[in-house]
Structure formats: C-alpha cells, structure tokens
Structure 1
C-alpha cells in the first residue's frame, strides 16, 4: 500500500505548482504567445494584473490552493470587453438623470444660448428651455425679478410639482430692483451677485492664467482718465464725485449726457486707450462690484473705483490692481496721484503685476445663472424654502 504524502511534502508540491503557473503567466505577459488555453489568455487581458498580483502573493498566504483557484475563476466570471471600474463609471453616467431648468422669461428680454452649459461651464446633464409646456417636468424655474412684477398674484396660485425649485434671480442692486409684495415666501433658492445667495454668480472673476493665454502687454495710451456713463442722475454719489474730480484733472467723459455716445463696437477701443477708468457704481452695496470694474481690468486699464469698501473689493481682486477713491481725503488728492502715476511708468505698471498669474472672466448674464442653477439642483436634493426674500435683499 502506498503511503500518503506527508504535510510538508504536499506543501512543497503546491508551492512548486504555483511557481510553475506564475512563470507561465509572466512568460505570456511579456511574449504574448497565441495560446488561448492559458488562464490569463488574450480573452482576459484586463485581468492579467489581478492574476499576477494574486500569484505573486501565493508564498505569503497559507491557503495557496485557494488563491490559484481564485486567479482562474476571476477571469472566467468577469466580462472581457472592459474593466469593472470603467463599466461602473459608464453605467453611472448613462443613468444620470437630466436636469431641466425652465427660463420663465428672457432676462430683460435678451435671449441667450440654451445649449452651452457644458461647453461654456463644463456643466453636464443640464437642459435649459423656454417652453412653458415643460413646466411640469422642470426641476427648477428661473424667475428674473425685474420681469415678473405684475405676475406675482398669478404665480401664487400656480400649482407646482412638490420638488420643483423656484429660483429668485437678480443682478441689479437693491436701489435698482423692485420689491415684490406677496413674494416673500414664494421662492426656494436665490441666484445673485451676493456671496450669501444660494447660487453665487459674480459679475466677473479672476481665474488662473492658462498656457493658451497670450502674454499681457499694456495697450497704447493716448488718454489719461475716461468715463462712460449711461445712467446720469445728479443725485447719485458718483456724479457729485465726478464733478469735483473733473475740476482738477481732465476726464474724457462719454455718453448721451455729454453728447458723445459710444456703441458696443467702440467701447473696448476707447477703454483700452485710457490709463485710468472711472469704475463708479450707481449705488453702494456689499458685493455689488460690476462689470465697471472687470471690463477695464480685462482691457488693460487701471480702474478707479467708487462703490463698496476697499476691503470688499480686495475679496474679489488684488489690492494693487485698482485705485479706490476712499484712499484719498479729497478728489483733488486723487487727481494729484493720477498725475504722478502718469509721469512714472514704473509705478503705473505695478498695477498690472496680477496679469502674470490671472485673467479676467466676465459672467454671461442670464445664461450662466441658468446653468449654475441647473448644476446646483443636480447636486443638492434637499428641501429648501427661502423665507422673507424681500427682507434679505432690501434689509
């Protein structure tokens, strides 16, 4: 009678078999023979790493026979067309629900592209529509405050799907926005230039410079100080400051009030030709920092700002990228400083040091709000109602 092999001898046999299998696998990986009978054959290429790792770990675990079995069975059970990780990601993306945002009205009656959320902002899975027939299926409805003043009573009686979000959207300051009586509890979310809104969309931002951006060069200048104003109101703070400043320094002023209308085509050329631009806001509110700041910065002109505090401006742009009227006791002192910079090119160029690292990105009014709203609704599924929107915005 043949005696049973000892435990030690059996272990040696298993180890030798495992090493032989691993050698065959490694040989296959490097030389790829056309043999389909190997455990890690061409039909299971994505699993070679799994098999190799398991085989190399054989000598470190006790149950070597089980590991060898797992090495083969993993390949047999797993689809051979793609790895499990890719398969999972593709399934998730395929079943990602499309978010629909209904734009109730074009903001200020100005249309925008409804199909640019992904190309402009990298926001996928969003569909914007102006078709109110899709109201019941919309996940969110964007209401531009300035355009719905006469509709509040009708909106209050309008039935809405229980999970649909109504978004209060506005980019004008409180001084230039109408209150909506009866609308205090009508909305779920807010989209505004204020950073404490649910969906924050500033008028502009500085973003990191990319490889494709051309090196910045200060444009040629033939004007010292410029101002283009469309809303002339003698009661505004900015008008009073302009009147005083223009007594001490020449300001090239444009707009209907001055009989020098500038169209959109000439705007960039005029602004870039000025050393300084009066970025005077029509009203003073926290975070109300508009294109009046970002356009001159983008066009290579130093903005002289009047509006929110310097501290507030510095939360948006570098402190040495602009001049604040509050830094000077009088408009005359400001005028003297501008004249000094005009005579000292080195001092003047320091206001453009930020251009080595950043470029200006302006917001696209309306379109960006709708896309950001869509992204927010997709990310946050929680219940939300905004109480007392009038008190929040107007105080």
Structure 2
C-alpha cells in the first residue's frame, strides 16, 4: 500500500523522500524509527549532496543502475512481444526514414556545459545541423545545407520542434554531464520519434546497457 498521508509515517515500513522536496529542518527534528527504511529519491546528477549522508538513508532510488532501486527516470526500453521482421524494418526505413532530411537537429538552452557546444561547432563544419536555443548565435546553425535558420522561435513542445524532430535523420542527444548512467529524455525522445541519437556524456557502455541494439551513435566511436 502506498500513501501520501504524513499522519501515517510512524506506521510505514518505508519512507520515500524526494531530494528536491526535502525539508531538512523538519528532517532533523523527526524522531526516527530505526525499524523503518528511509529511501532517498534523487534523479539529478552532479549536485552537492554531501549533507545528505548525515541522515543515514538506507536505500536510494536514482538513475544509477547500482542504486538499490534503479528506475528509468527518463525512459526505458520495452521489448516487443513480437519483434519486427527484417522485412518490416526495411519497409519502415524505405517509407519513413529515407524521406527525412539528411541533417541533425539540436535544441539547447543550458549554455554552461562548454564541451558539448565545442563538439557542435566542430560537427557543423562536416554535417548539416539545424540548431535552436539561446546558446546558438544568429546564423549559428547554418552549416552546409541545414534546413533551418538559427534564431527562429522553436520552443520546447512546439509544433516547430516536433517538425524538426520528425523530419531529420539525427538528433544531438548531448548530455550536460558525464556522470555514469545519466541518460535523460534527450536520448529517449529521439528514439520515440524515429530519429537516430548522436550521444555524448556517459561512456558508450552506459547507453549500450539500456538502449536497443545499434540504435545510437556515440561520439567516442570516432577519433575525429
């Protein structure tokens, strides 16, 4: 049984606490029942959480596969009961994928991680990339024959975003962190719209562990 009724906290076998919603002052005044399991839910990467250790949580639930409870916080792979045959897959490629523009697309708003911006600037000299967001300067996406104009309003969840995701062959699913197992909605959204994610961040084996076989391109697969 699961409940959000705080009046029943003393009788619960497990107390689940979300890191972002924790009231640490309240936590310090709680009289702990040491027969209970304290379960910390933390789904963000690279945050300063040193003060968390003093509360002696028993278990964690995070994006890390090594956590006591590891959930697909951003996405999971579900194996079809009846996989497509090679004929069905090739038919989809011929009818759908080959119609897409021979370009990659990227939506980026967090400008702090400079490594992925550097990779973008390098890639656009070799392959067309339609890029949008405050990190992209005016005309910054006009590489080769990319079918996009940088600076165009193309916000999250907009029809413009959907259009580029569903008509481009690739998406730059560059994570902001290199933390182990930190694979966010960028990757899963790309797969869900039928594009191929070009990934950067965690090591290749992190993606291979959870993704469909041969479903992505990792930048570390290439030396230049």
TM class, shorter-length: 0.7 to 0.9
Q: What CA deviation, in whole Å up to 9, does each residue of 1:169-189 have, x standing for no partner?
A: 111112xx2324263343111
SS at match of 1:190: strand
Where in structure 2 are there 5+ consecutive unaligned residues? 137-150
Deviation at 1:249, TM superposition (A): 2.3
Q: Does 1:323 align with 2:193?
A: no
Q: Which residue in 2 is equivalent to 1:192?
A: 62
Deviation at 1:275, TM superposition (A): 0.4
Q: Which residue in 1 is equivalent to 2:184?
A: 290
Is the radius of gyration larger for structure 1 or structure 2? 1
Instruction: Work out the CA distance in 1 between the residues paired with 2:132 and 2:101.
Output: 16
Q: Out of 96, 113, 117, which is 1:239 matched to?
A: 117
Instruction: Work out the CA distance in 2 between the residues paired with 1:139 and 1:284.
Output: 35
Q: TM-score, normalised by structure 1?
A: 0.46
The structure richer in helix per residue is 1
Q: Which residue in 2 is equivalent to 1:263?
A: 156
CA contact (8 A) 2:77 2:212 kept: no
Instruction: Work out the CA distance in 1 between the residues paired with 2:3 and 2:165.
Output: 35
SS at match of 1:314: helix
Q: Out of 132, 136, 156, which is 2:6 matched to?
A: 132
Q: Does 1:207 align with 2:78?
A: yes
Instruction: Work out the CA distance in 2 between the residues paired with 1:133 and 1:254.
Output: 48
Deviation at 1:319, TM superposition (A): 4.6
CA contact (8 A) 1:152 1:183 kept: no
Instruction: Work out the CA distance in 2 between the residues paired with 1:277 and 1:184.
Output: 41
Instruction: Work out the CA distance in 1 between the residues paired with 2:129 and 2:186.
Output: 16
Distance 1:156 1:299, change over 3 A: same
